[in-house]
Chains A and B, each alone.
Chain A
C-alpha cells in the first residue's frame, strides 16, 4: 500500500511538472517581409530570354509556399512537444498542391496522385532508393520516410520539371507563413533561439534574429523578418 501511494505521488508530481512546463511555454509570432514583389525567379531558361507580355505587368510570384520560419535552439535543445509524424503531398501532374512540406525527422510523407494525373516515376533527388521505384499511376500513392534533417527534393524521373520539397528539421519549432507572411510558432519552450528562414531546399543567408522565450510570456512580435532578394543560400 505504501508503495502504491508512492507511485501515485510520483505520477502526480510528473503531471504537475509537465503542466507547469506547458504553462510556461510561449508563442513566437511575426511577419515575414518578402522581397519586393518581383517576377518569379528565372529557372531553366530556354534558347531565348523570357520576355514580358506587352499587355500587363508581370505578376509577382508568391514565394511563401516555399518558406519556413525555424527556431533553432541555442545550446541544449529543450524538451519539446511531439510533432505530427505524417504528412501528405498531392501530386497534380506537373506540380504538387503544396510545393514544400515541413516535417520533423521520422515523418512518413505520403504522395498521392490525382485522378487526371499522368504516370510519374517519383524519386528523391540524390536518394533514389528512398521512394519505391515504381510508377505512380493516377489515384495512386507513394510513401517515404524522412528520417534525417535536411532537404528532400522529389522529382519525376520521366517528366522533368517536377520538383516538390520536403524540409525536415531537427527542432520542433517551425512553421510556414501564410500568404500574407504572418507566422506563429506555438508552445515554444523557454530558452534562446535563433530565427532562421528556410526557402525551398536551403536556409537563407540573412541576419538571423535571436528570440528568447521566458516562462509563459511570449516574446515580442517580430513584425519585420526581412528576407534578401534571391533567397541566397546560407552556409551550414
Chain B
C-alpha cells in the first residue's frame, strides 16, 4: 500500500502540474501576443511618422520647384508687391497661374485621385495674399498672412512645412519663397501649398500597416475627430487625456504610451503622437490603433488547435502513449502487489476459518493492514472463547458438576449461551463435539451421546408447535396432562408456587419459552414452587416425566436416570439459582436442543 500511495501521489502531482501548465501557458502566450501587438502599434506609429515626413518632403519639393521657379508667377508677384492694393483682375490672373501649376503637380503626383486638390496661396513680399486657389477661402485675396511662422520663414527665404489646424480640419502645408533669379536677384513673395488631411490620405498612410489611424484636433477642451480609417469611434475625451506632454514630440511613438480604449463592444490599443507645427498649439495629434487580441485562455488555446497540430509529425504521440502505458502498468502492478494478492490471501484464510479448517487466522502470513485485520479477528475469537469458558464455569458453579452418566443437556441459561454462529463456524452448523459450550450443562461427564437415529425429537406441546414448553405452563385443556410424551407436554398441572414467571419477568428465558403462555401458571401466584413441599415433589415429578419422555423421544438412553437423582439435582440447582438470583422460585422447562433433551431453569422473582 505504501508504494501504491506514493505512486498515486506522483501521478496526481503530475496531473496537477500538467493541468497547471495547461491553464498557465496561455497567459504568457497572451502577454507575448499583446506585446507583439503593441510593438506593431509602435512600429506603425513610427512608420506613419516617416510617411508624413516623406510626404512633407514631397510637398516642399512640389512647392519649391514648380511654383517658385515659374517665371510668369515670379513676374506677377513682383508686380503685385509693388502695387499698393490687390485688385480683382490681378488676383484672378495670378490665381489662374497658380491653378495651372497646381494641376500640373496633381497630374504627376502620387496622390490618390480621390483626394481633394491642394489649395494654393500666393503671397507678395509683405505677406499680402495675392490669390487663393482652392481650400475654404478659394478666391479670397488682400489680407495679410505675415506673422504666421511658415509665412515669415518663406518670406525670409526658407523652404519648410507646417501643419495647420482649422475648425475640424487639418492641413499639411508647405511653403517656399518666390525668388526672382534674373539679376537683380530678389525675393518677390512666397507660395503656400496645403493638403487637407483626408480619409484617402489617412488610408494611404496605414495601407500596409494593418492598423487604423485617426487625426484629431482640439476644439475647446476635447479632441475632435478630423478623419479616420476603420469603423471604431474612439472616445475623444479619453484620447484627449492621453495626449503626450513631453517637451519634444519626436519621441511620442517611441514612448510606447499605449492606452486601452473601447468603442462599442470592442477594445482597442491606441498610441498617440502629436502633430508638429502650428497645429501643435491646438493639441493636434494622430492615433494609430488596433483591436486588442481576444483573451486566449485555456479554452481559446484549445479552440485554436488545428488538426495538423495533433498529427504524428507535430505531436509526440508515441512518447505520450508510452508514458501513459508505463504509468498505468506501474499502477496496476502496485495495486496487485500490495492490495489484490494480500486480500486474496486473507480471503482464503478467512474461508478456512469459516470452514473450520483453521481455528484462527494465520496472522504471520498477512502483512500491513491485512495483518491487522487478522489480528483483530483472532483477538475477537480469543475473546469469545474466553467468554464461553467463563460462561461454562459459571454454569458449573451454578448447577454443580454433572452427575455420573449422561443424563443429557440441561441448558439453564439459554439466554446467555454462545451465539448460534460462532467465529469460524457457518451459521447453523453444529457445534464442535468438544468442548461443549459453557451454556450447556450435562448430567454426567459428557460421555459420548448415543448416536442419533433420526431427526432430533422435540417436545411437542401441541399445536402450534413450540420448541419448548415451560413446565409450569397450563395445559390446553383443564384436565391434568397425560404423562404420555406422545402428546404435547402439558407438563404438570398448575402448581401455583411453581408457575413460571409472568411475561416480561422472564429475564432468563429463551425466546421459545418467552413466546409461550404458561397455562399452568396461576395468575394469583406468579412464583415458582415452594421448596420442600408436596407440591414441589409433584412438580419435580412432572419435570422428571417430561424430561424422560423427551429423552425417549430424542432416542436418548435413560439408563441411570432416577427421579431421586433428578429431583436432588433440581433441588440443588434451584437452591443455588435462588440464592444467586434472589428469586422466589425456579421454573424448569424441558426442551430439545441439538437433538437432545435439555432442561432449562428460569428464576421467578415475583
Binding site for B on A (CB under 8 A): 39-40, 42-53, 55-61, 92-97, 99, 114-118, 155, 158-164
Which residues in A have their C-beta under 8 angstroms from that of B159?
A: 50-53
Q: Given A57-B157, A160-B282, A161-B148, do A45 and B276 touch, yes or no (CB 8 Å)?
A: yes
Beta-carbon contact of A160 and B281 below 8 Å = yes
Nearest CB in chain B: distance from A50 CB, A: 4
Identify A58's interface contact among B157, B163, B167, B186, CB under 8 A. B157
Complex Cα spacing A39 to B160, Å: 14
Do A46 and B160 touch across chains, with their CB atoms under 8 A apart? yes
Docked CA distance A63–B416 (Å): 131
Interface on B for A, CB 8 Å cutoff?
49, 52-53, 55-57, 60, 64, 68, 127, 129, 137, 140-153, 155-167, 173, 176-177, 179, 181, 185-187, 276-282
CA distance A109 to B137 in the complex (A): 28
Q: Lowest 6 CB-CB distances: which A-B pairs, in order?
A: A95-B147, A93-B143, A94-B145, A116-B142, A92-B144, A50-B160
CA distance A92 to B148 in the complex (A): 11
Closest to A121 in B: B167
Residues of chain A within 8 A (CB-CB) of B151 are 94
**Do B64 and A53 touch across chains, with their CB atoms under 8 A apart?**
yes
**Nearest CB to that of A39 among chain B residues?**
B156
Complex contact B147–A99 (CB within 8 A): yes
CA distance A188 to B161 in the complex (A): 47
- Check B53–A48 contact: CB distance below 8 A: yes
Chain A, Cβ-Cβ closest to B152: A40
List, in ascending order, chain A residues with CB within 8 A of B161's CB.
46-48
Nearest chain B residue, comparing its CB with the CB of A117: B143
CA distance A77 to B281 in the complex (A): 39
Contact partners of B177 in chain A: CB under 8 A: 53, 56
Which chain B residue shows the least CB distance to A97? B144
Instruction: Kindly state the separation between the CA atoms of A99 and B147 in the bound complex, as whole angstroms.
Output: 8
Which A residues are CB-close (under 8 A) to B158?
39, 50-53, 58
Using known A-B contacts A92-B144, A94-B127, A163-B147, determine if residue A40 contacts B277 with beta carbons closer than 8 Å: no
Q: How near does chain A come to B521, taking the closest CB pair, in angstroms?
A: 123
Residues of B contacting A: mostly: mixed
| B147 near A58: Cβ-Cβ < 8 Å | no
Give complex CA distance A58, B152 in Å: 11
Is the beta-carbon distance between B164 and A160 smaller than 8 angstroms? yes
What is the distance, in angstroms, from A117's C-beta to the closest C-beta of chain B? 5
Contact between chains at B156 and A94 (CB < 8 Å)? no
Nearest-Cβ distance from residue A123 to partner chain B, whole angstroms = 11
Contact of B160 among A51, A61, A159 (CB under 8 A): A51
- Report the nearest A residue to B85, measured CB to CB: A116
> Which residues from chain B contact A164 at a C-beta distance below 8 Å?
147
User: Would you call B52 and A47 a contact (CB within 8 A)?
Assistant: yes
Contact status A56-B157, CB under 8 Å: yes
A45:B277 contact, CB within 8 angstroms: yes
A92 touching B143 by the CB < 8 A rule? yes
Q: How far apart are the CA atoms of A115 and B276 in the complex, in Å?
A: 31
B205–chain A nearest beta-carbon distance, Å:
13
A45 vs B249: C-alpha distance when bound (angstroms): 11
Instruction: Say whether A61 contacts B152, CB under 8 Å.
Output: yes
> Measured between alpha carbons, how far is A160 from B144 in the docked complex, in Å?
14
CB proximity of A48 to chain B, nearest CB, Å: 5
| Chain A residue at minimum C-beta to C-beta distance from B174 | A46
Q: Are A114 and B153 in contact (CB under 8 A)?
A: no
- Minimum CB–CB distance from B121 to chain A (whole Å) comes to 10
B181 and A162 form a contact (CB under 8 A): no
Which of A40, A60, A94 is packed against the most chain B CB atoms within 10 Å? A94
Residues from chain B with a CB closer than 8 A to the CB of A59 are 155-157, 187
Contact yes or no, A158 B167, CB < 8 A: yes
Query: What is the bound-complex CA distance between A59 and B280, given in angstroms?
Result: 26
Partner of A116 from B140, B155, B186, B280 at Cβ < 8 Å: B140
Known contacts A51-B159, A163-B147; is A114 also within 8 Å of B142 by CB?
yes
Contact at A56–B56, with CB atoms within 8 Å?
Answer: no
Separation in Å of the B216 CB from the closest CB of chain A?
14
**For B282, what are the chain A residues with a Cβ–Cβ distance below 8 Å?**
160
Taken together as a complex, chains A and B put the C-alpha atoms of A170 and B246 apart, in Å, by 36
Other-chain contact of B187, A44, A47, A56 (Cβ < 8 Å): A56
B146 and A92 contacting across the interface, CB-CB below 8 Å: yes
> Are A162 and B147 in contact, CB atoms less than 8 angstroms apart?
yes
Closest-CB distance, A43 to chain B (whole angstroms): 4
The answer to whether A55 and B181 touch across the interface, beta carbons within 8 angstroms, is: yes
A-B contact pairs, 25 of them (CB 8 A): A40-B152, A40-B156, A43-B149, A44-B162, A44-B280, A46-B162, A46-B276, A47-B277, A48-B161, A51-B159, A55-B179, A56-B187, A58-B156, A94-B148, A94-B151, A95-B146, A99-B147, A114-B142, A114-B143, A116-B129, A116-B140, A158-B167, A160-B164, A160-B165, A161-B150
On chain A, the residues within 8 Å of B144 by CB distance are 92-95, 97, 114
